[in-house]
Amino acid sequence: MTADTPKGPHSTAGSVNGDAAGRTPVAPGTPPRPTPPPVLGPAVAPSAGAATVALGMPGSGPPPGSAFDAVHPPDAALIGDCVHCGFCLPSCPTYVLWGEEMDSPRGRIDIMKGGLEGDAFDADSVRHLDQCLGCMACVTACPSGVQYDKLIESTRAQLERRVPRPRGERLLRALIFGLFPYPRRLRALRGPLRAYQSSGAGRLLARAGVLRRLPRPLQAMEALAPKLGPVEKLPEGTPATGTRRRTVGLLTGCVQGTFFPDVNAATVRVLAAEGCDVVVPRRQSCCGALSAHAGRAPEAERFAKSVIETFEAAGVDTIVVNAAGCGSNLKEYGHQLRDEPGWADRAEALAAKVMDITELLDELGPVATRHPLPMTVAYQDACHLAHAQSVRDQPRRLLRGVPGLELRELAEADICCGSAGTYNLLHSEPARELGERKAKAVLATGAQVMVTANPGCWMQVATTLARMGERLPVAHTVQVLDASIRGVPVDRLLARALDGPGTVLAYATPKTITTDQPSRGVDPSSPAS
């Protein structure tokens, strides 16, 4: 099957099992498809034209004639769980953008089913699978309990082994996965990047139009790089304040540790204030999240084994993670290493210890005094926290526990912002469109600050706001809690979240935002905490 002769389930001409007009037949008695929620953008996004041109049972292989190899193909039983009810459609970012059946979860599951039945993967089917953000909103929405997360991960591992990619795409992927999962390599870039930022070279290149002539992935990398500041070196051990309630280890992360070290420092302070001895193991490796979500299974397994060894040696009760994507990946170690002799039990034991920082703090309950922070907050759910880990209420309870803080909810809260690990580098146009939808939703709340739980979301939304000419502080949940515990004045917190380390370097003069909260645009010259 080739891209020139689309047919069967891989065709982009219509819906799965649909007619020529793309209509899916509805059996008598079938409940009506749910109405999508109100959208914040066009019904069909500008990128639609270009966009539309496994669990695996141990020891079992693919059916005879399958397009998959014998290494954990997507499980036919899990594929069979999908009844094509359509409840996933309004939750899927690419379906919301393009209205294309094959860019929905059930459409992609149909492609997987076709692969099991012997359909070769043509350019169209590979593109539809690649364009999935892996946000797992469909897992939350599905009434049948379809394990789409396991299906897409096993399928992507098959594509990584079996589908040749164009040379330019191979080079881009080699650059991304040769850099971002390696903390030492990222730290080596800090000096040159900070010099580039402080020199004003970026502003000059932008004015000269040079940045616009770069390939889109390089434009995205340059735009997403946050403002760098001094790094506070974390001690290997920090004692609890008062009575010790828990001994925890902190995963510092690759992007989090390099570009957002202030978040890690705030995490240590909050944990200690809440009665935790905090251990920060040295020489931590990547957790493997980016690799696992991209189908680079051997690489992800290698990273997982390194993390297991590191935290086994630390001897901690709980492993705390403050980056949603990393946390969801660590909790899947048992699944990733299920066939590895000597590792499966160790992986399960480690995964059982992993908690997001908000999970742990909510479970422990507050002992440190919260000082007032009179401000309005738009809380943005990170997909791998809300959907992959089902952590929704805990961060909201913690934020509402801060005196004076008013929490505001976003429209389309379950729609991904477009970051999705490396998605905004590999698929920059749909990522841009999703980023603008999320930024508009944040602005519509009229809040003074956006709060999130993942560095990718932070960079994506903050960069999008800057590109739109808007100014809005962005902070991590734990930074708000840290400011409240330490009694940092709200204007200092907002100033640092607007112009401090981790914020966006905007090359255009932002326009003023008028809201019911005039202190949102705080004076950037205010002293930072």
| Contact indicator for 109, 82 with CB cutoff of 8 Å | yes
Rounded Cα gap, residues 258 and 502, in angstroms: 10
Question: Which distant-in-sequence residues (6+ apart) come within 8 Å of 495 by Cβ?
Answer: 473, 522, 523, 524, 525, 526, 527, 528
pTM comes to 0.83
Report mean pLDDT in 10-residue bins for the chain, 529 residues. Answer: 36 38 42 43 54 41 74 91 93 94 95 91 90 94 93 93 88 90 88 83 81 80 81 92 95 90 96 97 92 92 96 95 95 94 95 97 96 97 94 96 96 93 89 94 96 92 90 95 97 92 65 37 34
Rounded Cα gap, residues 414 and 503, in angstroms: 24
Predicted confidence at residue 38, as pLDDT, reads 42
Rounded Cα gap, residues 217 and 244, in angstroms: 47
Question: How far is CA 401 from its chain centroid?
Answer: 26
Rounded Cα gap, residues 360 and 126, in angstroms: 39
Write b or e for each residue in 224-257: b if 16 or more Cβ atoms lie within 10 A of its Cβ, otherwise e: bbbbbeeeeebeeebebbeeebbbbbbbbbbbbb
Backbone angles phi, psi at 408, to 5 degrees: -125, 140
- 509-514-518-521 Cα dihedral, nearest 10 degrees: -20
Tokens read off for 317: 């009760």
Rounded Cα gap, residues 480 and 373, in angstroms: 9
Predicted confidence at residue 307, as pLDDT, reads 96
Predicted confidence at residue 278, as pLDDT, reads 97
Tokens read off for 201: 């070279």
Predicted confidence at residue 62, as pLDDT, reads 61
Predicted confidence at residue 416, as pLDDT, reads 95
Rounded Cα gap, residues 420 and 425, in angstroms: 10
Predicted confidence at residue 215, as pLDDT, reads 81
Reduced to 3 DSSP states, what percent helix, strand and coil does the chain have, rounded to the nearest 5? 45, 5, 45
Predicted confidence at residue 120, as pLDDT, reads 84
